[in-house]
A and B are shown apart, each in its own frame.
Chain A
Amino acid sequence: VIYRESLLLDDIQDREDKIKLGMKIFQDGKDAYPEAKAMEEHAKLYDLQVTYEKDYKQTFIGLTVAETIKKLLKIGQSSKASKMKSEFKVPDKMYVFLKDGTFPVAKKS
C-alpha cells in the first residue's frame, strides 16, 4: 500500500522511470493486476504526452486521457485523437462527447 503512494508522488514529479519501476512492483504484488495495467497505461500516456509536447509545442503532461484527446481534437489532430481512443479503449460514448464538446470551440477559433 505504501509503495503506491510513493509511486504517485514520483510520477507527479514527472519521473517516467519511476512510474515504470512502480509498475513492476505493482505487477509483483498480489491481486493488483487491474491496477498494474492502469499504471502501464499511465506510463504509455506519459510517453505520448512527451512526444505531443515536442510535436505541437503545447503542454500535454498532466492532462488526463480525456483532456488529451480533447486537446488533440482542438488543435485539429483528429487522427491522433482517434488513435488514442482505440489505444486507451475509450468508449465510443465518451469519444463522441469529447468530439461534440470540442467542435463548436474549433469553429469559433
Chain B
Amino acid sequence: MSGLLPTTINPKALKSDALASFVTLLESVRGKKSLILDRTLSAPLSHIARFSVLQEHGVDNIFWLDDGPQKDSSQRNIVYLIRGDIKNAQTASAQIKKLLQTSDIEFDFNVILYPRKMLSIEKVFEEEGVLGDVTISEWDLGFIPLEEDLLSIELPEAGYKDMYLYGLPTTISFSAIALNALQKQYGIYPRIIGKGTQAKKLCEQLVRMRAEYQSSSDTAASEWTKGETSAFDQLVIIERATDMVTPLMTQLTYEGLIDEVFDIKNSQTEVPSTLFTAANPKLPANGAASTISTTPIATEQRKTRKVVLDGSDPLYASLRDLNFAVVGTTLNKFARKLNEDYEERHQAKTVSQIKDFVSKLGGLQAEHQSLKLHTNLAEEIMNRTQTEFFNRALEVQQNLVASGLDTSTLNLTIEELIVRGIPLEAALRLLAIECLTSGGIKERELANFKRLLYAQYGYEHIITLNALTKLDLIFQRGSKTSANATTLQFSNLRKNMRLIVDDVNEQTPDDVAYVYSGYAPLSIRLVQYVIQKRALGTKISTLGGSGWRGAEDILRNVPGDVFDQTQKPDEKSIKTKVLQAARKDVKRTVAVFFLGGITFTEIAALRFIAAQESERRRILILTTGIIDGKDVIKAAMDMTPSGVSTMSVE
C-alpha cells in the first residue's frame, strides 16, 4: 500500500475485503465441508460471494440451520455460520450434540459467529457440553455494500425490533462496530451529529471505542492517524424513532412500491413467475442471466422467481427513485430509444458498421429484457394501486399528514376499511399514522377500533396492539403526558419544517417531497437541516449557523436527544490543519446513518439531495437495514404465536 490514503469510499473494495475475510475463515477449515447457514445470513452472504466462489473454497453443501439436524453427513467438516444470538447457538449446539451421539464418524465442527464472538454464546456451547468439540471463530463483517452509495448492515428487521421492542443493545453495538471499521479505514468522522436517544448512545459508543483504541496500543493508535486525511466531512445519525411517520406511509417511488407490493430483500425481490413467462416467452430458462439469478440453494420449486434489482441495470437505476406517477412515461421513452437503437441496423451499410451493430446487440437485448421486466412489474403494481383499498388507504394517509385536524371522518373511513377486511397490517398502519400525527386516538375511539380489530382479525392481536403501544405507534390521546416533553409534535413540525409541499412536481422534482407526492419525510428534512439549509426555504436558511444551531426550537418537537460531537484528530493537529487546507479541493463525504432502518423512499430522497449537492460533497447512505411500513407492523405482529398466517380474512 502506498502512503496515499483513500479519500473516497470505495464500496467495491469493501465488498472484496468482506469476501476475503470470509474466504480466510473458510480456508481455515481444511478440505471439503458442509456449510450450515443461518437463514437470515444467506442473503447478505449472497451479496458478497456467489455459490461458485464458495465451492471453490471447498464448500460442498449448504444447509439451513432451522431445517434441523442434517441426515447427510457426507462431509466430516461442518461449518456453522450463524448470527450470534442465544437461540441460534442452542440450535447449533443441540445439532452438534446429536451428531456426536448418533454418528461414529469423527466430525470437525467449526462455528463462525457473526458479527463477533461473544462470551454468552460460548457459554451456551459449554452448557450443552460441546464446547470442547467446536472451534469458534468470528466474522466481523461490517457494512455490506448494496449500491455505490448505499451500505447496510442488513440486520433482521433492520434491528428495529431488537432496539425498540426488546430494548436490546445489540443493534447499537453492531452499528458502532461497523461505523468504527469504516472510520478506521477512511479516517475519523470529524463531526458526529445526530438526533435520537439511541443515536446518542451510538455516538457515545463510537467515541469511546476510539478512545479505547488510542490508549490500548501503539499499533492501533497508528491506525488512527489516518484520521488526518479523513475522507469524511461529517457523520449524521438519524434514529428511526425520531420519525416513524415516514416508514408507515405508503411509498410512492418505483422501488418503494415494488417493496410494498413484492417485498425487496437484499436487493432481490420475488415476483410471480407468470410475470416472467410473459416477460420473456422465448427464454424460459436462464436466458436473462444478467438480471435473473436464482438462489444458490433452491429448497423447493417455487411459484415465484427472484429478481435482482440493483444499479447494475441502467434502466432500473433510472427508474427506481422516480415517483411512480412518471414511471410510465419514462418506460415509454426508454422503449422508444431502444427501438431507435434497433433501427440503426438499417443504416448500417458498411461491414464495419454492421459489425458495430452486432457487438451492441447483446447490450440491446439485455436492455430489452429489462424493459420488458419493468413494464410488467409496473403494470402489476398499477393493478394493485388502482384497487379501491389502496386508494382509500392512501387518501387517509395523505389527509392525516396534511391536515390531521378532522380525524372523525377519517376514522369512519378507516373503520369501513377494517370492516371490509383490508389486511390487518394496512389497518394498523393507518391507525399508527393517525396516532403519530395527531397525538393519539381518543380513548373511546381507540376502544372502538380495538374491538373492531379483535372481531375482524382475532383476539390474538391483543398482543400485537400491546406491542404497538410499546413501540409508541398506537396510543391513546393524552396517555403520554407532557412529562415526556419530546414526543412528536407533528402539527408544529408540519409548518416549521415544511413537511407538506402543495405544489409538488413529480415530473421534474424540485423538492424531496416528490417521493410521497407532497409529503417530505421528516427524517430527510432533519438531514437537510444539517447539510442543506438553504433548500429549506427562507425561514430556516436565515438562521445560519452550522449543525443543529438555530434549529433548536423546532427540534424540540421531535422525540429524542440532539447531539453534536466533534472528534479531533490527535496530536499532530496542526499538521492536520495544513493537510486539510491542502485538500480543500477534494470532495468530502457526508455519511448519513439511519439507525433502525431506512425506507426506499428515504434513499430516493437522499439521492435527490446528493444530486443537488454533488458539486460540493458526496453523500454516503448507511443503515442497519431497509424497512417499510409492513416490516414495522410485522415486528409487532410476530409476537403472536400464530403469526401472520391468521391475519388475512379473505
A64 touches B456 (CB 8 A): yes
Find out whether the CB atom of A94 lies under 8 angstroms from the CB atom of B462.
Answer: no
A92 to B452, CA, bound (A): 11
Within 8 Å of chain A (Cβ to Cβ): is B129? no
**Stretch of A32-40, A51-59, A75-83 that contacts chain B:** A32-40
Question: Are B641 and A12 within 8 A (Cβ)?
Answer: yes
Report B333 CB to chain A, min CB distance, Å.
44
Per the 8 Å Cβ criterion, residues 165-187 of B in contact with A are none
Contact A12 B642 (CB under 8 A): yes
Interface assignment of A30: CB less than 8 Å from any CB of chain B: no
Question: Is chain B's binding surface mostly helix, strand, loop or mixed?
Answer: helix
A74 at the interface (CB under 8 A from B): no
Residues on the A chain within 8 Å of B420, using CB: 97
- How many positions in chain A have a CB within 8 Å of any CB in the partner chain? 26
Query: Which residue of A5, A42, A67, A90 is within 8 Å of B459 (Cβ)?
Result: A42
Q: Mark A1-26, 1 if CB is under 8 A from B, else 0.
A: 10011001101100000000000000
Q: How many residues of B contact A (CB 8 A)?
A: 25
- Whether B450 and A11, one on each chain, are in contact in the complex, defined by CB atoms closer than 8 angstroms, is no
The residue of chain A having its C-beta at the shortest distance from the C-beta of B443 within the complex is A34
B455 touches A64 (CB 8 A): yes
Q: Establish whether residues A93 and B416, one from each chain, have CB atoms under 8 Å apart when the complex forms.
A: yes
- B419 close to A (CB within 8 Å): yes
Residue of B455, B462, B466 near A88 (CB, 8 A) is B455
Looking at the complex, which one of B452, B457, B646 makes contact with A91 (CB distance below 8 Å)?
A: B452
Please tell me if the beta carbons of B450 and A34 are within 8 angstroms of each other in the complex: yes
* Closest chain A residue, CB of each to CB of B418: A94
Check A64 against B416 for contact (C-beta < 8 Å): no
Complex contact A38–B455 (CB within 8 A): no
Complex partner residue of A4 from B421, B450, B457, B463, CB under 8 angstroms: B463
Kindly list chain B residues whose C-beta atoms are within 8 Å of the C-beta of A93.
415-416, 419
Q: Which of B419, B457, B466 has the most CB of A within 10 A?
A: B419
Q: Given the known A-B contacts A5-B639, A11-B460, A64-B649, are A35 and B466 also in contact in the complex, defined by CB atoms under 8 Å?
A: yes
- Set of chain B residues within 8 Å of A9, measured between Cβ atoms: 641
Bound complex: CA A88 to CA B452 (Å): 10
- With an 8 A cutoff between CB atoms, is A66 at the interface? yes
In the complex, residue of chain B having the shortest beta-carbon distance to the beta carbon of A9: B641
Binary contact readout B405-442 vs A (1 if CB under 8 angstroms, 0 otherwise): 00000000001100111000000000000000000000
Contact status A38-B450, CB under 8 Å = yes
Q: How far is the CA of A100 from the CA of B451 in the complex (A)?
A: 21
Contacts of A91 in B (CB 8 A): 415, 419, 452
A41 touching B459, Cβ below 8 Å:
yes
Interface residue B220 (Cβ < 8 Å from any Cβ of A): no
Contact status B640-A90, CB under 8 Å: no
Q: Is B454 an interface residue (CB 8 A)?
A: yes
In the assembly, what is the distance between CA of A53 and CA of B194, in Å?
58
When the two chains form the complex, which single residue of B452, B459, B639 contacts A39, counting CB atoms closer than 8 Å? B459
Residue in A closest to B470 when the chains form the complex, CB atoms: A1
Q: Which residues of B contact A65 (CB under 8 A)?
A: 454-456
Query: Which parts of B447-506 form the interface with A (CB within 8 Å)?
Result: 447, 450-452, 454-460, 462-463, 466
Chain B residues with Cβ under 8 A from A64's Cβ? 454-459, 646, 649
A38 and B462 within 8 A (CB): yes
| B196–chain A nearest beta-carbon distance, Å | 24
Q: Would you give the shortest CB distance from B478 to chain A, in whole angstroms?
A: 14
In-complex Cβ contact of B456 among A34, A35, A94 (8 A):
A94
Binary per-residue interface labels of chain A (80-109) against chain B in the complex, 1 for a CB within 8 Å, 0 otherwise = 000000001111011001000000000000
Q: A8-B640, A9-B641, A88-B455 are in contact. Are A39 and B416 (CB under 8 A)?
A: no
Contact of B455 among A39, A62, A90 (CB under 8 A): A90
User: How far does the Cβ of A66 sit from chain B's closest Cβ, in whole Å?
Assistant: 5
Chain B's closest residue to A97 (CB) is B419
A93 CA to B415 CA, complexed, in Å: 9
Closest A residue, CB atoms, query B639: A5
Kindly list chain B residues whose C-beta atoms are within 8 Å of the C-beta of A45: 459
**CB nearest to B451 among chain A residues:** A89
Q: CA–CA, A4 to B461, complex, Å? A: 11
Distance (whole angstroms) from the CB of B202 to the closest CB of chain A:
26
Q: Assess whether A62 is in contact with B646, with CB atoms less than 8 Å apart.
A: yes
CA distance A28 to B20 in the complex (A): 57
A residues less than 8 Å from B415 (CB atoms): 91, 93
Question: Would you give the shortest CB distance from B132 to chain A, in whole angstroms?
Answer: 34
Chain B minimum-CB-distance residue to A31: B479
Chain B residues near A94: list those with CB within 8 A.
419, 452, 455-456
Distance, CA A89 to CA B449, complexed state (A): 12
B residues lining the A interface (CB < 8 Å): 415-416, 419-421, 447, 450-452, 454-460, 462-463, 466, 639-642, 646, 649
10 contacts between A and B (CB under 8 A): A1-B466, A5-B639, A38-B450, A38-B462, A39-B459, A42-B454, A42-B462, A45-B459, A64-B457, A93-B419
